[in-house]
Amino acid sequence: MTPAARLQATIEILDRILAGTPAEQALTGWARASRFAGSKDRAAIRDHVFDCLRCKRSFAHLGGAETGRGLALGLLRAQGIAPEQLFSGQGYAPAALDPAEMQPPETPMSELAALDCPDWLAADLRDSLGADFSAVMQSLQHRAPVFLRANLAKTTRAEAARQLAQDAIATRPHSLADTALEVMENARKLRQSSSFIGGLVELQDAASQAVIQALPVTKGAGVLDYCAGGGGKSLALAALGAQVTAHDANPARMKDIPERALRAGVNIAVTHAPVGLFDMVLTDVPCSGSGSWRRAPAAKWTLDRAGLNAVMQLQSEILHKAQHHVRPGGVLCYITCSLLDAENAGQIASFLQGAPQFRQSIEQRFTPLDGGDGFFLAVLQHKG
């Protein structure tokens, strides 16, 4: 496909997303209907789509419309590319620019539009991020790095890096966690590499790894991963020698855990109804996802106040249910990938008011300025 044809495909996919189709579904649907597109074409189109979603507000301003065509036009202007070079109307290219589209907008872009920040959430983000507000919002406009976790159950970080290099995948250690490797070259070869297939590494954000590293987990400790999802944190804890039981309110989310655990060389029990008490209960709760908007940028624009309030209510309910699985003297760990104080320290303060048997022993917050995604961790010690 030519660059212009890729741009036209981007426009079509964006229009589906703007009409309400989830981003991954729109991309997959286009790829299935477009068998002529090669892997490089699909990768380039995916990059275009996600660039436009990360910067939807500023690109819509530059392109004059919040449509697939407007966003694609804004993308080119943001990159310093003359739009008429690709909007030619020839072959499979987008239709030629009309007179209104030929000139960039004359009205100045507002601060929040330039930062691609939703108006309704700006005050909450400013209060939560303080002086880092603008820098964090700017970081969310760019693609996230690709990070790997060296699986300590099978290897060391240095050896994992050496094995990856043999597959032409260049990495470097990252300071956020002792297990973290940042991929510098050939990230798209990862899933076919011998290191990944052999379970030496797993894809996991560096800040997510840092959260695990901060937990007071000991070898042989019984851990309940109460909101396990796909099992990324369960795998990391099992690699440290913990006896992990994975649970999720939606069991279908855990379907890949047995296969992933087998590849990683660890044991993880999967349960739909946890019973008994554990040394540690991990609650990686549903949240706004504001700390990971680089990876899931559509969520920035679909979230609203009602949705935020609903997810905060769910967070509170999970904490109150999960506490009953903590043994006396054990710990309850609360994790979000949110940047908002209301989901983080605010939730912990509210919980502790009604749970005097717990005291907070650890609190850590990461933002994209630290290199990884935004994360929050609170460890609550049962007074026992």
Where exactly are the structural domains of the chain?
A: 3-109, 147-203, 216-382
Instruction: Return the number of other C-beta atoms located less than 10 Å from residue 199's C-beta.
Output: 20
Task: State the residue for tokens 């609190």.
Answer: 363
Query: Is 163 within 8 Å of 200 (Cβ atoms)?
Result: yes
Q: Whole-angstrom Cα distance, residue 304 to residue 323?
A: 29
Backbone angles phi, psi at 295, to 5 degrees: -90, -30
Distance between alpha carbon 309 and the CA centroid of its chain, in Å?
Answer: 20
Distance between alpha carbon 356 and the CA centroid of its chain, in Å?
Answer: 33
Task: State the residue for tokens 């009309």.
Answer: 98
Q: 0.85 cut: is pTM over it?
A: yes
Non-local CB neighbours of 298 within 8 Å, separated by 6+ positions: 17, 22, 23, 53
Q: What is the pLDDT of residue 384?
A: 83
Instruction: Return the number of other C-beta atoms located less than 10 Å from residue 204's C-beta.
Output: 21
Query: Is 287 within 8 Å of 338 (Cβ atoms)?
Result: yes
Q: Which two tokens stand for residue 321?
A: 């249910």
Go through the chain and tell me how many residues it has: 384
Q: Whole-angstrom Cα distance, residue 41 to residue 181?
A: 27
Q: Whole-angstrom Cα distance, residue 21 to residue 32?
A: 15
Chunk the chain into consecutive blocks of 10 residues (it has 384) and report each block's average pLDDT, rounded to whole numbers.
Answer: 96 97 95 90 96 98 97 97 93 93 92 98 98 98 97 97 96 98 95 96 98 96 97 97 97 96 97 96 98 96 97 98 97 98 98 97 97 98 92
Query: Residues of 259-291 as b/e, b for ≥16 C-beta within 10 angstroms?
Result: ebbebbebebbbeeebeeebbbbbbbbbbbbbb
Q: What is the pLDDT of residue 197?
A: 96
Task: State the residue for tokens 């899931």.
Answer: 296
Q: Whole-angstrom Cα distance, residue 315 to residue 312?
A: 5
Q: What is the pLDDT of residue 35?
A: 87
Q: Whole-angstrom Cα distance, residue 128 to residue 346?
A: 11
Q: Label residue 134 exposed, middle or buried (CB < 10 Å: 0-12, 13-18, 19+).
A: middle
Strand pairing report for 222-225 and 201-203: unpaired
DSSP letter for 218, please: -
Q: Helices 39-54 and 56-63 sit at what angle, rounded to 10 degrees?
A: 90
Q: Domain spanning 147-203 has what CATH number?
A: 3.30.70.1170
H-assigned helices in 199-284: 206-214, 232-239, 257-264
Strand pairing report for 180-185 and 170-173: antiparallel
Q: Whole-angstrom Cα distance, residue 299 to residue 140?
A: 12
Q: Which two tokens stand for residue 260?
A: 């992933």
The CATH superfamily assigned to 216-382 is Vaccinia Virus protein VP39 (3.40.50.150)
